[in-house]
Amino acid sequence: MKFRNVLAATAALSLAASPALAQTAPVADRASAPVASESELGGDGDGSGIILAILAAAAVIAGIVIAVDGDDDPVSA
């Protein structure tokens, strides 16, 4: 019975202390890496992001239409 209480206390102590032990370096010592060039994922403002969003929305709508199609005939191979 006492051994179970010791195990419970040890587990509680380890759960309480683990976040403090996980942080080894102070936040002030962390530095971000220098950026060599800008990312090209955002686009150049030419509207390609809007086109991709419209195509994605059309694909989702087409998938929904195909999924709820009223054709319940089984397909036999």
pLDDT digits 0-9 by tens, 21-73: 666 656 666 667 777 776 666 555 667 778 888 999 999 999 888 888 766 66
Alpha-carbon gap, residue 14 to 6, rounded angstroms: 12
Predicted local distance difference test score (pLDDT) of residue 59: 94
Q: What is the pLDDT of residue 60?
A: 94
Torsion sign (Cα): 16, 18, 21, 22: negative
**Is pLDDT larger for residue 28 or for residue 18?**
18
Q: How many whole angstroms separate alpha carbon 13 and alpha carbon 19?
A: 11
